[in-house]
Amino acid sequence: MNYCETVTTRCMQIGNVELNLRSGLYCDVDNKLDISTYKKLGKRELLLLDFLLKSPANIIEKELIVKAVWSNRIVTDSSLNVTVHNLRQFIKSVSSNIIIKNFSGVGYVLYKNTES
């Protein structure tokens, strides 16, 4: 049984991988049975993706993102910038058409790129 087949998990296909939104584990959709190929998305990147997915195509303020991803911790803008960068790199690496756009001084929006 592949990890994303359990009833208690939340999975989605993003690009050419299946991502477990609870654990962060992901695998190529064509190679689910080979557990040795599974990789893990970082905790903060996973929390950010999950949060952005709840409001697709809506600008989400930086302050709300920080509260959702870092809870009651004090973080710098660079922590958010690095997490967004890492998530963008993940999205690019799995050939997804999802884009995270920054609105300077305001926040971020996640949307699907419809251009070919």
Distance, CA of 114 to CA of 72 (rounded, Å)? 36
Which CATH code for domain 42-116? Answer: 1.10.10.10
> Is a pLDDT exceeding 50 seen at residue 74?
yes
Q: Mapped to the 3 state alphabet, what secondary structure does 61-90 carry?
A: EHHHHHHHHHCCCCCCHHHHHHHHHHHHHH
Task: Please report which confidence band the pLDDT of residue 32 belongs to, taking 50, 70 and 90 as the band edges.
Answer: confident
Average pLDDT over every residue of 25-49: 92
Paired strand residues for 102: 108
Cβ atoms within 10 Å of 38's Cβ, excluding its own: 19
Task: Locate the domains of the chain by residue range.
Answer: 1-40, 42-116
Average pLDDT over every residue of 86-96: 94
Structure-block tokens of residue 75: 């973080």
